[in-house]
Amino acid sequence: MIAPKDETRIGVYVCHCGTNISAVIDVEALAEFARGLPQVALARDYKYMCSDPGQELIKQDIVDKKLNRIVVAACSPLLHEATFRRVAEDAGLNPFLVQMANIREQVAWVTDDPVDALAKAKAHVAAAVRRVSKHEPLERRSVDVTPRVLVVGGGIAGIQASLTLAEAGKEVILVEREPSIGGHMSMFDKTFPTLDCAACILTPKMTAVKDERNIRLLTYSEIESVEGAVGNYKVKVRRKARYISEEKCVGCMACIDQCVFTKPKFPNEYDQGLGLRKPVYMPFPQAVPPVPIIDPETCLQLSKGKCKQNCVEACGERGAVLLDQEDTIEEFEVGAIIVATGFKAFDPSVMPYYGYGRLPNVYTSLEVERLVNAAGPTGGKLVLRDGSVPKRVVIVHCVGSRDKNYHTYCSRVCCMYSLKLAHLVKEKTDAEIYNCYIDMRTSGKGFEEFYNRVQDEGVHFIRGKVGDISLVPPENGEQSNRMTIQVDDTLLGKVRNFDVDMVILAVGLEPQPDTDDVRRMFGMSCSTEGFFLEKHPKLAPVNTANDGVFLAGVCQGVKDIPDTVAQADAAAAKALALIDRGTFELEPNTAVIDEDNCSGCRICNNLCPYDAIEYDEEKEVSRVIPELCKGCGTCVAACPAGVITGVHFTNDQIFAEIEGMLFDAMPDLLAV
Amino acid sequence: MSDETFEPKIVGFMCNWCSYTASDLAGTARMKHAPNVRIIRVMCSGRVDPTFVLKAFSLGADAVLIAGCHPGDCHYQNQNYKTIRRHAMLKYILPQMGIEPERIRLVWASAAEGQILADAIDKLSEDVRKLGPLRWADNWEENGERLEALESIVKEHEEAMEVQP
């Protein structure tokens, strides 16, 4: 490595970025301006600095022209800082002697006027040049990575990611808050467009999770807290009391048979409330783990303290029913985390004109999934609440999606699952089926073909939004549950009214209600629609702002099962890349206290949220623990004596940057 | 410089995780906005030492923008709360130094809120355009009175120190 010489020689490289930058900013004038700045040895402009020849240009100059500082005026440092640091490193220069000036995202792309753009770009370049002259060579810190992954959410995304990691021989902690894994996919009957039976393709994976030795499955559990950072997270998991021991239970279900409630009485959440269950129940036949659960709110013993406790007796010597069980907290250390917390189906009861919750035969698509499912409340018979078979059915598309009052985005899966439900309902009832749609979006593999098939089966399609659903007026004094649909048929150009006896609302997908809490717990952001924000929409679709946290499934954005599975494997691969390497390199930008000049006032001690500053009682000085410091710099800004240095964000470096940014404000004030 | 042609020069401090990313997003989405704010990246808005703000004013900035993550969303748990305190302090002391408090502004923008940041930049630029140029450094142009005041401070200080053992 070339030691920085006494003389600072800065090379400035202005990127055209094709025409992204050069169409707005006069790049030659900018390079010419850079040449006039103090300590600049050379300045060039080039079409693509990040290309191979562009990188080679910098490397050659570092060697030939003896440059010891590099400024690249191009895109955002969040995009290519790593690239140019590597270039410097390859040429024998410390990577931290590089600074980028963001003239694409923050100048060229947001400024109309070329004169304004050039002035702002000059400021950004002048700031980078002044800053880089104050840079010091730095070494990255390396931390060991715990070779274990936490997967949050046991839907198809979490299951797939866990299995892939386990297959690679890695330990996985899979946490699911419901009593069984399986998520939304386990509620479906068939999957589009192949009409694969959802249970047939999902159940083997669920069982594999149970049998996989590398996976520790924690159902009916929630994450309590997450501490630490990439490579070494400490996670606390609350295991909610299930009142039945997972270790002792063999799934014979005698407790359910013998419950004092001889008949199921309470709505089964898993069946969307359409079916009934007892206080002790199995969520669904294929549940994993195959262990019943007791609902403390409806169980007489747990809610009222008074019951014959037949369940305990039925279990007998096995003793798996534990009515005095309490929540427990377990702690785990993991190196990486995959968040796969899924979605919530849109609740259409907020749209009074669709009558959901008021008109008995208005169903959500998820409810109909349960009705057509052989394991559902009707055993797979599609019947209405009064037991009759519907003859005319309307499927209302885009409920809660593409609607500025609710969600403006398209939920992507509704068109296809509506076609699937149309096919299934037609198959089971031979009813007349009407799809009222805004646009049919069938862009996936085999999707358009399926659309054509359903059209050929005689399903009707009406292009228009449903405006109102109301009961048909009483005939001969009798009120039926038939409904009149009012739809603005945009192809006919008129409003149509027709009667049906079943309405299926194709509800959209929305973020889980506790997304904000989860986001904060894992140090992530959300995009405007409320799903978790990926680090880069195209180039880092499963990474997040938190280096050890990855995303899979709908919690990152709406998608169907194939995309979810693909993304889950991508997240698993990213997590594997992190933990398999065994070490992770951290940025060196921690805080450092100059102990000789620290007065021991301890102002900084309480400012650190990570307890990374310790106080030495003997020497009466404060000290930063580098392993705990995350480099925010708040203590640096607070030190009254100015003896805390924010490495790579020192006062001198930022002052220099301010000077550069204001190069044209009151120029006579600036010393060269 | 007449007011019609006055374009304020504003220094913006933005945190790496939310507001700087929001600024990048505004760029990627081509949300055009006023070119007046020149952006300095810090890891956290909590790094913004009040002296950075004073330094910017002393070098001719007409305003300073500090942008961070929304309260409760800080990448460093709650360091932006310290930014709130410092901003309140600056609002209080700047007028004592002859700077309108409107020249310092704190805004929150999450990584997804490019439009909010772009709008905030437009608004601040517009507001400062109305305020006119600051040229704070002109306030202490060398003159006899100022030198005399400075010398008397030094003298007082020396006298005070003499009392100490």
> For each successive 10 residues of chain A (672 residues), what is the average pLDDT?
70 97 97 97 97 97 96 96 96 97 98 97 98 96 95 98 98 98 96 94 96 97 94 96 95 94 94 94 94 96 94 94 96 98 97 96 97 93 94 98 96 97 96 97 96 97 96 91 96 96 97 94 89 91 94 98 98 97 92 95 92 93 91 95 95 97 88 57
User: Mind telling me how many Å the CA of A47 is from chain B's nearest CA?
Assistant: 19
Q: What is the CATH number of the domain that holds A625?
A: 3.30.70.20
If asked whether residues A501 and A415 sit together in one domain, one would say yes
Nearest CA in chain B to A589: B43
Assigned token pair, A53: 């020849």
> Which residues in chain A are closer than 8 Å to B118, comparing Cβ atoms?
110
How does DSSP classify residue A104?
Answer: I
Band of pLDDT at residue B91, cut at 50, 70 and 90: very high
A378 and chain B in contact, CB less than 8 A: no
Place of tokens 């008397």: B152
Q: How many domains does chain B have?
A: 2
Q: What residues contact residue A66 under an 8 Å CB cut-off, 6+ apart?
A: A5, A9, A41
If asked whether residues A491 and A611 sit together in one domain, one would say no
Cα–Cα distance between A462 and A439 in angstroms, integer? 10
If asked whether residues B79 and B155 sit together in one domain, one would say no
Are A520 and B17 in contact by the 8 Å Cβ rule? The answer is no
Q: Identify the pLDDT of residue B44.
A: 96
If asked whether residues B120 and B163 sit together in one domain, one would say no
Best of B47, B87, B138, B141 to substitute, by most chain A Cβ atoms within 10 angstroms, is B47
Task: A244-249: list long-range contacts, CB under 8 Å, 24+ apart.
Answer: A244/A280, A244/A291, A244/A292, A244/A293, A244/A294, A244/A320, A244/A321, A244/A322, A244/A325, A245/A319, A245/A320, A245/A321, A245/A322, A245/A325, A246/A289, A246/A291, A248/A318, A248/A319, A248/A320, A249/A291, A249/A292, A249/A315, A249/A318, A249/A320
> Which residues in chain B are closer than 8 Å to A520, comparing Cβ atoms?
72-73
Cα–Cα distance between A135 and A137 in angstroms, integer? 7
Residue B74 in domain: yes
Cα–Cα distance between A438 and A404 in angstroms, integer? 14
B146 and chain A in contact, CB less than 8 A: no
If asked whether residues B144 and B79 sit together in one domain, one would say no
Residue A499 in domain: yes
User: Mind telling me how many Å the CA of B82 is from chain A's nearest CA?
Assistant: 8
If asked whether residues A292 and A350 sit together in one domain, one would say no
Range of the domain at B71: 10-134
Residue B67 in domain: yes
Label the pairing between strands A276-277 and A232-239.
unpaired
Range of the domain at A132: 10-138+652-671
> A609 and B77: CB-CB below 8 Å?
yes
If asked whether residues B15 and B93 sit together in one domain, one would say yes
Cα–Cα distance between A133 and B12 in angstroms, integer? 21
If asked whether residues B156 and B94 sit together in one domain, one would say no
Residue A439 in domain: yes
Q: What is the CATH number of the domain that holds A20?
A: 3.40.50
Nearest CA in chain A to B48: A637
If asked whether residues A642 and A663 sit together in one domain, one would say no
ipTM over 0.85: yes
Residue in B40, B44, B73 closest to A654 by CB: B40
User: Which CA distances in Å does A459 have to A426, A456, A490, A579, A589?
Assistant: 8, 7, 18, 51, 63
Where are the extended beta strands (E) located within B6-165? Answer: 10-15, 37-42, 63-68, 104-108
Judged against a pLDDT cut of 70, whether residue B3 lies above it is answered with no
Cα B91–Cα B97–Cα B101 angle in degrees, nearest 5: 30
Residue A412 in domain: yes
A104 and chain B in contact, CB less than 8 A: yes
> Which residues in chain A are closer than 8 Å to B117, comparing Cβ atoms?
none
* Span B49-78, pLDDT tens digits: 999 999 999 999 999 999 999 998 888 888
If 0-12 CB within 10 Å is exposed, 13-18 middle and 19+ buried, where does residue A473 land?
exposed
Q: How many domains does chain A have?
A: 4
Residue in B75, B77, B137 closest to A669 by CB: B137
> Which residues in chain B are closer than 8 Å to A119, comparing Cβ atoms?
35
CA-nearest of B96, B118, B151, B90 to B29 is B118
Length of chain A: 672
Cα–Cα distance between A574 and A578 in angstroms, integer? 6
If 0-12 CB within 10 Å is exposed, 13-18 middle and 19+ buried, where does residue A177 land?
middle
Residue B5 in domain: no
If asked whether residues A358 and A493 sit together in one domain, one would say yes
Q: Identify the pLDDT of residue B2.
A: 45
Residue B2 in domain: no
B85 and chain A in contact, CB less than 8 A: no
User: Mind telling me how many Å the CA of B151 is from chain A's nearest CA?
Assistant: 22
Residue A560 in domain: no
Phi, psi of A549 (to 5 degrees): -110, 130
How does DSSP classify residue A475?
Answer: B
If asked whether residues B65 and B92 sit together in one domain, one would say yes
Residue in A105, A108, A658 closest to B24 by CB: A105
If asked whether residues A297 and A352 sit together in one domain, one would say no
DSSP helix/strand/coil, A238 = strand
> B47 and A636: CB-CB below 8 Å?
yes
Give me the residues paired with residue A499 across strands: A484
Phi, psi of A284 (to 5 degrees): -160, 160
Are A559 and A567 in contact by the 8 Å Cβ rule? The answer is yes
Judged against a pLDDT cut of 60, whether residue B6 lies above it is answered with yes
